[in-house]
Amino acid sequence: MKLSELPRRVAAIVDAVEDLHPNDGVARRLRELGFVGGERVEIVAAGPVSAEPLLVQVGFTRFALRRVEAARVRVREESAQGQPA
């Protein structure tokens, strides 16, 4: 599933960031911000207009991402025991 499809306040684990082309600057920046495989992520809130931007927490840091950027991050839901589903 894409991060942009994750319901609010549902914990997930990052699988990967999708590169759209070689040397993709957006994908590289997302990884630099902490969107790396195995990291816990959650949608905290969404903006008032078209639910844009998304307030995303990765680890202990929060970022505002546009939905198009969040759609580049592949995630899987975390189970109730805190383990990947």
> Domain extents for the chain?
3-77
Local structure of 60: helix, strand or coil: coil
Q: Which CATH architecture has domain 3-77?
A: Roll (2.30)
- Phi, psi for residue 8 in degrees, rounded to 5: -60, 145
The pLDDT profile of the chain, 85 residues, written as one tens digit per residue, is: 999 999 999 999 999 999 999 999 999 999 999 999 999 999 999 999 888 999 999 989 999 999 999 999 999 998 744 555 5
Which pLDDT value is given to residue 78? Answer: 85
Residue 33 structure tokens: 């911000």
